[in-house]
Amino acid sequence: MASASRPPVTFHVLNTATGIPAEGMLVEISSNTSRGDIEPFTWQKFGECVTNADGRGSGLLPSSMKEIPVGIYLMKFHSKEYFSRTNTTTFYPYVSCLSFFTISFHC
């Protein structure tokens, strides 16, 4: 169970080309709204935040969310916009991370 002082979903984004935190990157979280765990999935975005100076994200989940149910979730990291601001060419417009939460979290 997550404590009141620590959000249930945390992450840290580093720019591996420079070795520094990726400040100002938009990150979204979506839930699978299709039935079952077999692709193709249908996604519904329900939260987003921007990484801080340390490359960490908080506030990804809406404050009204009291529980993260068991399910399949997608985190989307908007790398193109981040690299555009740093005048760096990138091959990936975004990076996705698919997660299976097998336990529920109470916020």
Instruction: List per-residue pLDDT tens for the chain, 107 residues long.
Output: 444 555 677 889 999 889 999 999 999 999 998 877 777 889 999 999 999 999 998 888 888 887 788 888 899 999 999 999 989 888 889 999 888 776 556 55
Helical segments of 29-105, H only = 79-85
- 39: CB partners within 8 A, 6+ apart: none
pLDDT of residue 3: 47
* Residue 47 to residue 60: CA distance in whole angstroms: 5
pLDDT of residue 104: 59
CB distance 13 to 20 below 8 Å: no
CA distances from 28 to 17, 87, 96 (A): 23, 23, 9
pLDDT of residue 48: 94
Residue type present at position 46: F
pLDDT, tens digit, 9 for 90 and up, residues 72-103: 889 999 999 999 998 988 888 999 988 877 65
The tokens for 85 are 């601001």
pLDDT of residue 45: 94
